Amino acid sequence: MSKRTLTNHKTSTHISIPPGYRAMVLVAVVAMLALAGCGTANNAATKAVISSPLANADFLSNAPIQIQGQADGAGIVRVDIIIDATVLTAVAAADTNNGVASLPVSVPYKTQTIGTHFVQLKVYGAGEKLLAVSDPTIFVIKLAPEAPTTVPQPPTATPAPTPVPAPTSAPVVVTDTATTSATLTTTTTVTTVDASNVAPSLTITNEFANVRSGPGTTYDLIGKLNLNETAPVRGKNAASDGVWWQIAFDKGPNGVGWVRGDLVSANAAAQGIAPAAAPPSPTAQPTQPPAPEQPTALPPTAVLTTVAVLTPTPSGPLCDASVKDWRGQNPSYPFCAGKDPTWADPNSEYTVYDNGRDVPLSISWRIYGENVKSMWIHFDQDNTGMCGFNKATQKTINQQVSPEGTFAFNALDFVYGGTMRVWWQVVLTDGRVVTWGEKKLCIR
């Protein structure tokens, strides 16, 4: 039998272990270290935070915005920057196989779209796995003020020189062969430029301004001018009715038209212009013509001529509380809806399409009224289960459209499918932004 020895020292202890047991001890130690390592793993949940822009910050149109934030966690492969439910760009990790624990984001952004917007970060791991979504940060884009219009000023007249007092002595006499006397005289000519030479004009400050045949919304609509367009001013109406400017307009009666004063900026020369006479207010034609007089016998050579009575063409659909399309019972919707959002196929909203099918689809609508400035259509992710299932979509839509129109697309546009909410954003002339209408699109 082999002898085992135990040696004690003041500073250490040595134990002799038979060779057959050494492998077992080594395995046990490795297992303990592995367990200890698992206990220190980073199990923290992935999160994303936006540091810029600040919530509810205001920016002028065309001003650069720096979008900044950071995603922290484990296995982060990519961060998508979302503006109004549309992917602006993506920031990828250096290691796209294993991902990283922290990925900062800093990208520039600039927009001309006036109104309220939001930015959001979406964090993805390997295999397009969605790891985290930041809270949305709302910011507002306001119209940048126009550079002040410089009104040409008349040149400053050169002051006349101070008259030199006449000498008290006798006038200067120039003597040649004959004796002649002459008095020295200085004449100064001053030219003054009349300020009336500056032509009265105005500039459109709204996205557009309707041009009408008279100073009021009851007059015929004869055209429009767009932002920053100018027009010569011919006159204005009575201030008690609200300022309307009469402008030179080729398509108008007698070559003039009228625009609302709150949609334009008039130069100094226009401020003192004389009032212009307004045309007669439009009146409705009688629904029935007056009863004809008793016919009289026509001479044999007479020719009977029929005269058509023309009804004035309205300047556009009337939109106020008197029409059935009026939605202003809710103060958020001061406009008319002639057609709520409608699928071309009545069953489309309730149909679930299989991914990869070639299915042409379209949806149409119509709103109108002078309070409508612009309109946008949105397709974005919906996880409420209204389709009967939830599926992430890799494509979203945020596109400006006309207040009346049809949006055509194909189920193939969404190559990975998805459950989506379809809705509209209406920008009003007073600066408010409201949502209108909602449909669903289900692609399995």
- Asked if residue 398 and residue 344 are part of one domain, the reply reads yes
Residue whose tokens read 């390592």: 37
The predicted model gives 395-408 an average pLDDT of 92
CATH number where 100 lies: 2.60.40.10
Query: Element (H or E) spanning 26, and its range?
Result: helix 19-39
Per-residue pLDDT, 85:
81
Q: Which pLDDT tens digit goes with each residue over 135-149?
A: 999 888 888 776 555
Structure confidence at residue 354 (pLDDT): 87
Are 34 and 111 contained in the same domain?
no
Predicted local distance difference test score (pLDDT) of residue 335: 95
What residue type is assigned to position 150 of the chain? T
Q: Mean pLDDT across the chain, nearest whole number?
A: 77
Residues 172/184, Cβ–Cβ less than 8 Å: yes
Residue 5 has pLDDT above 50, yes or no: no
pLDDT band at residue 16 using 50, 70 and 90 as cut-offs: low
Last residue of a domain, one of 271, 288, 308: 271
pLDDT value, residue 283: 60
245 lies in the same domain as 341: no
pLDDT at residue 84, rounded to an integer: 86
Q: Is residue 401 a part of any domain in this protein?
A: yes
Q: Is the pLDDT of residue 90 over 50?
A: yes
Residues 405 and 430 in one domain: yes
Distance CA 155, CA 198 (A): 13
392 falls within a domain: yes
Domain that holds residue 420: 336-443
- The bridge status of strand 137-142 relative to strand 13-15 is unpaired
Whole-Å CA distances, 85 to 76, 118, 142, 226, 348: 21, 8, 20, 29, 23
Other residues' Cβ atoms within 10 Å of the Cβ of residue 234: 20
Residues 115 and 20 in one domain: no
Nearest C-alpha neighbor of 407 from the set 345, 364, 375:
364
- Residue 231 domain flag: yes
Among 117, 142, 167, the domain boundary falls at 142
Residue 310 resides in a domain: no
**Has residue 319 got a pLDDT over 90?**
yes
Structural contact between residues 349 and 439, judged by C-beta atoms closer than 8 angstroms: yes
- For the segment 291-313, the average pLDDT, to the nearest whole number, is 41
| Same-domain check for residues 104 and 136 | yes
Q: Which helix (H) or strand (E) holds 37?
A: helix 19-39
Answer yes or no: is 194 within a domain: no
Predicted confidence at residue 228, as pLDDT, reads 92
Question: Domain check: are 356 and 428 in the same one?
Answer: yes
pLDDT of residue 19: 56
Give how many domains the chain has, as a whole number: 4
Residue by residue, DSSP assigns 232-264 as EEEEE--GGG--EEEEE-TTSGGGEEEEEGGGE
DSSP line for 182-202: -------------GGGSPPEE
Q: Are residues 58 and 97 in the same domain?
A: yes
pLDDT tens profile 37-77: 443 334 468 999 999 999 989 888 888 899 999 999 999 99
Q: Give the whole-angstrom CA distance, residue 400 versus residue 104.
A: 31
CATH of the domain at 233: 2.30.30.40
Contact at 8 Å (CB) between 433 and 427?
yes
Of 142, 158, 189, the one marking the end of a domain is: 142
In a domain, 308, yes or no: no
For residues 122 and 206, membership in a common domain is answered with no
The reply to whether 12 and 105 lie within a common domain is no
Same domain? 31 vs 78: no
Contacts of 419 (CB under 8 A, 6+ apart): 381, 382, 383, 386, 387, 389, 390, 391, 393, 440, 441, 442, 443
Q: What is the pLDDT of residues 152-207, one digit of tens each?
A: 565 555 555 555 555 454 444 444 444 334 444 444 444 444 545 688 999 999 98
Query: pLDDT band at residue 150, thresholds of 50, 70 and 90?
Result: low
Q: How high is the pLDDT of residue 293?
A: 42
Residue type, 138: I
Residue 430 in any domain: the answer is: yes
Beta bridge partners of 108: 66
Q: Is residue 301 part of a domain?
A: no
